[in-house]
Amino acid sequence: MGKMNKITIAASGVVLALVCGASLFTDVAMAQTQQLNTLKNARQYTVYRGKNNITGDRNFLEPTQAPVISDIDVDSNYIYVGTDDRYVYRLDMKNVDLLPERIFEIADSWIRAIEISPDGGTMAVLSQNGELKIRNLNTNDWIDISEGGIDSKMKGAHALVYSPDGKQIAVTCNKGQGNGAALNSSVYIYSIENSASKDIRKFVVRLDQILPAPMGSRTALAFSNSGEMLAVGGNDGTFVLYDVKNRPARVIESLKFNQKSSRRVRAFAFNKSDTLLAVGGDKDEIELWNIGNLDNISLVNGLTLPPQSQGNNSDGVIRPSRNNGNNSAGKVFALNFCESENYLVSGDSLNRVLLWDVATQTLLADGKGHRGTVTCLKYLAEDPLDPIGSKSPCIFSGSFDTTVIKWKFE
């Protein structure tokens, strides 16, 4: 693997190191500055801290249990968090001690997905009951995309994603009830104009097309980095690659996750060159599909999740995972490729953030810190809190334990 450097993943104030290849991050600006420093302290943000200490609604009645995190996204100042208690929270990235702020509420449904546009000007929010709203982050105004018409009938919405150029939003719609049943297992694609405008009235958003497919409820969604492909996965283990470069979109190929049985697809990740697709879900393996030649798509290999480590999983220590005979290897809920397309990060139901070398199929780091399923990940090539000129990569992870952890590398 060439010259060896250290990587440190830290959580809850504990810092340990392990060895991996120097090619982990290929960001040119970072390579020209200096070697990354060891993390001095961990940053862990908590959404729920107990009774009557969340700002926003003074008459808020405490839930019977703490809200769980379903999705996160990050800009230069804030972490945005969607939860199952109907709220979007905003956390100050610079101050872990500040209480989270409620900025949005859905009346009777989970916040399923949050996505900040590539230009940083807007944030799309999707709830399970089918509400899709876009917030202008410059003015804090909202526009409701799901008001009226066919859009208002979406049921069982689960995932959304911006295209890399920010000109489209894709949204999954799962099995519906009543009127929504007619839109069973659909993907809506919206076209967006003027998304960076500071005047909310200049937004133009329209329903461009609906993509049906022969599969169960759709649970995973991802654009390729070129924006020309869309991956859609479902509960029955089927996933479809669409060519969305032209209208109407066409199916490139329908594929099967876990050939031996039907297992839910929960997460996708395209590598930077769009030659490799990582697929994760209700299986103890992350499948790696070669999509460099769309006429010959093939399953090349897989990354086998280790069984749960022995010992305390909440102490932040990175240690080799060993099979103690009592635990399964879990399910994969989130995937992100790092700047170098050889390195992949996964989040799973055993509360772990795992770092993989896909070229050698090697587990490089097993990060502990969360006390619940890791549901979402956000990789940033440059940590917004680092000083100018010394920006280093980081990973944010959100969990059912109501916390967000920022992981740093050395």
Q: Which two tokens stand for residue 112?
A: 């399923």
Which element (helix H / strand E) includes 267?
strand 265-270
Cα separation of 96 and 311, whole Å?
A: 27
pLDDT tens-digit readout, 143-192? 888 654 444 456 677 889 999 999 999 988 765 443 333 345 788 898 88
pLDDT tens-digit readout, 305-326? 998 753 333 333 333 333 333 3
Cα separation of 323 and 339, whole Å?
A: 31
In order of their start, the domains of the chain are 4-46+65-408 (2.130.10.10)
C-alpha separations of 60 from 49, 335, 344 in Å: 14, 34, 40
Percent of the residues in the chain that have a pLDDT greater than 90, as a whole number: 32
Give this prediction's pTM. Answer: 0.81
Q: What is the DSSP string of 155-187?
A: -SEEEEEE-TTSSEEEEEE-S-SGGGGGGTTEE
